[in-house]
Amino acid sequence: MDKYQVVVKPLITEKGTHQIESQNAYPFQVDLKANKTQIKLAVEQIYNVKVENVRTLIRKGKPKRRGAKMGYTSTWKKAIVILKDSDHLDLF
């Protein structure tokens, strides 16, 4: 899998901004099939930083209704990437 397919996009949220400031941890939306090693290598190659740790979680799709039809939002994977103390990213 290509490094640009592994990392879909960085997530800019209020909680994510707090994690960046306090823990040097950056949230990313990643491919559902990517594992922690692939995520670590992709972030290191794309952003030229050193990754200390990677935590992942899968966000299940929520049921949504549009008129009389029921459906679900997409299931996606989130990765929290913790960088070394000397590194940081400029995502804003």
- Per residue in 25-64, pLDDT tens? 999 999 999 999 999 999 999 999 999 999 999 999 999 9
Q: 3-83, which class in CATH?
A: alpha beta
The pLDDT-based confidence of 91 (bands split at 50, 70, 90) is: confident
Extents of the domains making up the chain: 3-83
Query: Higher confidence at residue 35 or residue 92?
Result: 35
Q: What is the mean pLDDT of the chain?
A: 95
Q: Look at residue 26 in the predicted model and tell me its pLDDT.
A: 96
Residues 19-47, buried b or exposed e (16+ Cβ, 10 A)?
A: bbeeebbbbbebbeebeeebbbebbbeeb
